[in-house]
Amino acid sequence: MTQPQTPQTEETPARRIATDFAASHLAVAGLATLLLILLLALLAPLISPQNPYDLAQLDVLDSRLAPGAQSGDGKMTYWLGTDDQGRDMLSGIFYGLRISMLVGISTTLAALAIGLAAGLTAAYFGGRTDSIIMRVVDMQLSFPTILVALILLALLGQGTGKIILALVVVQWAYYARTVRGIALVERRKEYIEAAVCLALSPLRIVFRHLLPNCLPPLIVIATVQVAAAIALEATLSFLGLGLPITEPSLGLLIANGFSYLLSGKYWISFFPGLALLLAIVSINLVADRLRDVLNPRLQK
Amino acid sequence: MLVFVIRRLMQSALVLLVMSVLVFAGVFAIGNPVDILINPQADQAEIARLTAALGLDQPLWRQYAVFLRQAASGDLGNSFVYNVPAIGLILERLPATLELAVCAMLIAVLLGIPLGLWAGLRPDSIAGKSIMAGSILGFSLPTFWVGLMLIMVFAVQLGWLPSNGRGETREVFGITLSFLTRDGLAHMVLPALNLALFKLSLIIRLTRAGTREAMQQDYVRYARAKGLSMRRIVGVHVLKNIMVPICTVIGLEFGSLIAFAIVTETVFAWPGMGKLIIDSINVLDRPVIVAYLCITVILFIVINLVVDLVYSLLDPRVRLAAAGN
- DSSP letter at A3 equals P
Percent of chain B with pLDDT over 90: 4
**Would you call B263 an interface residue with chain A, using a CB distance cutoff of 8 Å?**
yes
CA separation, residue A207 to residues A113, A120, A204, A212, A213 (Å):
12, 9, 5, 7, 10
Q: Nearest-CA residue of chain B relative to A153?
A: B281
B156: nearest CB among A264, A273, A288: A264
Contact A261 B143 (CB under 8 A): no
Site from A100, A147, A265 to mutate, B interface, most B CB atoms within 10 angstroms: A147
B136: nearest CB among A251, A261, A288: A288
CA–CA distance, B286 with B24 (Å, rounded to integer): 9
pLDDT category of residue A151 using cuts at 50, 70 and 90 = confident
- Three-state DSSP at A157 gives coil
Whether residue A97 contacts residue A42, with contact meaning beta carbons closer than 8 Å, is answered with no
CA–CA distance, A152 with A243 (Å, rounded to integer): 14
Whether residue B19 contacts residue A147, with contact meaning beta carbons closer than 8 Å, is answered with no
pLDDT category of residue A246 using cuts at 50, 70 and 90 = confident
Query: Taking residues A234-262, what's their average pLDDT?
Result: 80
Long-range contacts of range B123-132, CB-CB < 8 Å, 24 or more positions apart?
A: B123/B208, B123/B212, B131/B204, B131/B208, B132/B204, B132/B205, B132/B208
pLDDT category of residue A108 using cuts at 50, 70 and 90 = very high
CA–CA distance, B223 with B89 (Å, rounded to integer): 55
Contact B156 A157 (CB under 8 A): no
In A262-281, the residues whose Cβ lies within 8 Å of chain B are 262, 264, 266, 269-270, 273, 276-277, 280-281
Instruction: Provide the pLDDT for residue B325.
Output: 42
Write phi, then psi, for A222 (nearest 5 degrees): -60, -40
Summarised one tens digit per residue, pLDDT across range B140-194 is 788 888 888 888 888 877 777 777 777 666 676 667 776 767 777 778 888 998 9
Instruction: Provide the pLDDT for residue A244.
Output: 73
CB under 8 Å to B238, separation ≥6 — which residues? Answer: B117, B211, B214, B215, B220
Contact A262 B155 (CB under 8 A): yes
CA–CA distance, B310 with A67 (Å, rounded to integer): 54
Query: Taking residues A117-124, what's their average pLDDT?
Result: 86
CB under 8 Å to B186, separation ≥6 — which residues? Answer: B161, B162, B167
Q: Would you say how long chain B is, in residues?
A: 325
CA separation, residue A248 to residues A40, A50, A205, A280, B186 (Å):
16, 14, 45, 18, 34
Min distance A47 CA to chain B CA atoms (Å):
26
Whether residue A106 contacts residue A164, with contact meaning beta carbons closer than 8 Å, is answered with yes
- DSSP letter at A12 equals -
Contact B148 A258 (CB under 8 A): yes
Instruction: Provide the pLDDT for residue B80.
Output: 74
CA–CA distance, B319 with B110 (Å, rounded to integer): 28
**Would you call A261 an interface residue with chain B, using a CB distance cutoff of 8 Å?**
yes
Instruction: For residue A95, give the nearest of A261, A246, A284, A282 by alpha carbon.
Output: A246
Instruction: For residue A201, give the nearest of A124, A281, A138, A289 by alpha carbon.
Output: A124
Contact A143 B259 (CB under 8 A): yes
Position A17, amino acid:
I
Distance of alpha carbon A179 from the chain centroid: 19
Contact B152 A266 (CB under 8 A): yes
- Chain B residues whose beta carbon lies within 8 Å of the beta carbon of residue A143: 259, 300
Q: Where are the alpha helices (DSSP H) in chain B?
A: 2-29, 33-37, 44-53, 60-72, 86-121, 126-140, 143-150, 182-215, 218-225, 230-232, 239-267, 273-282, 286-314, 316-324
Write phi, then psi, for A110 (nearest 5 degrees): -65, -45
Contact B278 A157 (CB under 8 A): no
More confident residue, A103 or A81: A103
Is residue B10 pLDDT above 50, yes or no? yes
Model confidence, pTM: 0.80
CB under 8 Å to A49, separation ≥6 — which residues? Answer: A76, A88, A90, A91
- Chain B residues whose beta carbon lies within 8 Å of the beta carbon of residue A150: 262, 277, 281
Min distance B227 CA to chain A CA atoms (Å):
33
pLDDT category of residue A59 using cuts at 50, 70 and 90 = low
Whether residue A174 contacts residue B316, with contact meaning beta carbons closer than 8 Å, is answered with no
Contact B27 A155 (CB under 8 A): yes
A150: nearest CB among B137, B144, B262: B262
Instruction: Provide the pLDDT for residue A143.
Output: 77
Summarised one tens digit per residue, pLDDT across range B47-58 is 777 777 766 667
CA–CA distance, A154 with B65 (Å, rounded to integer): 23
- Three-state DSSP at A266 gives coil
CB under 8 Å to A160, separation ≥6 — which residues? Answer: A99, A102, A103, A243, A247
Min distance A244 CA to chain B CA atoms (Å):
14
Query: Taking residues A173-202, what's their average pLDDT?
Result: 86
Instruction: Provide the pLDDT for residue A74.
Output: 62
CB under 8 Å to B239, separation ≥6 — which residues? Answer: B113, B117
Beta-bridge partner residues of A70: A77
In A229-248, the residues whose Cβ lies within 8 Å of chain B are 231, 234-235, 238-241
CA–CA distance, A272 with A250 (Å, rounded to integer): 6
Contact A155 B282 (CB under 8 A): no
Is residue A1 pLDDT above 50, yes or no? no
Contact B145 A155 (CB under 8 A): no
Q: Name the most confidently modeled range: A35-39, A289-293, B8-12, B125-129.
A: A35-39
**Would you call A224 an interface residue with chain B, using a CB distance cutoff of 8 Å?**
no
Contact B145 A254 (CB under 8 A): yes
Site from B140, B293, B305 to mutate, A interface, most A CB atoms within 10 angstroms: B140
Instruction: Provide the pLDDT for residue A168.
Output: 92
Is residue B22 pLDDT above 80, yes or no? no
Of B125-129, B145-149, B166-170, B234-238, the least confident: B166-170
Farthest-apart Cα atoms in chain B, separation: 87
Contact B142 A239 (CB under 8 A): no
More confident residue, B323 or A258: A258
Query: Taking residues A180-205, what's their average pLDDT?
Result: 85
Summarised one tens digit per residue, pLDDT across range B64-91 is 777 777 777 777 677 777 778 888 888 8
